[in-house]
Amino acid sequence: MFQGQEVIPAVKDMKDFERILKRNEEFFVVLEVHISQLARMRKLAKEVNKRMILHADLIQGLRSDRYAAEFLCQTIKPAGIISTRSDMLRIAKKNHIMAIQRLFLLDTLALHTSFQLARTVEPDVIELLPGIIPSYIHKVQEETGIDVIAGGLIETEDDVRKALKGGAQAVTTSRRDLWNM
């Protein structure tokens, strides 16, 4: 799915984005940028064969609704969209864009609700947060039959290794020092 890329950089600003353009990784995640920057980011990323995954719920100036999903899919055309919202994920899938369901490990009820959403939406990938609980990576993958990536609170190389050993296909992180693993 991610062509063997185990660490997926997550960028929070244009400086990180500029760093990504010079690196070898194919995939990267965009967090917390303004909607006005997306088209330019997509164009620059495409020029250097990078595949941008947007965290739709965190894009500034964009509501996480059906219209936002249609705008992202039809105008920006990212490689993937991360969201907790079913409409966003359904529209991504309909437009042949990788749909990544963000799942938070809050408690048993939240976990079961997320499992129901996964069965209904059938995302391509689940991003599990926090990603530092390897036993749940396997549990979520087993319960849903969907590949899992891990993110959130991953601060060390050991955290990355444990997540991958726990069954994660990849790890997303905004920590630049972990992008070189």
DSSP-assigned letters across all residues of 119-151 = HHH--SEEEEESTT-HHHHHHHHHHH--EEEEE
Residue spans per domain, the chain: 7-178
Distance CA 57, CA 44 (A): 22
- Are the C-beta atoms of 86 and 74 separated by less than 8 Å? no
Question: In this model, does residue 138 exceed pLDDT 90?
Answer: yes
Percent of the chain with pLDDT over 90: 97
Across residues 56-67, what is the average pLDDT? 93
Calculate ∠ Cα 173-154-137, nearest 5°: 100
The DSSP bridge partners found for residue 52 are 28
Q: What pLDDT does 173 receive?
A: 97
- Are the C-beta atoms of 100 and 124 separated by less than 8 Å? yes
Report, at the CATH architecture level, how domain 7-178 is classified: Alpha-Beta Barrel (3.20)
Averaged confidence pLDDT in the chain: 96
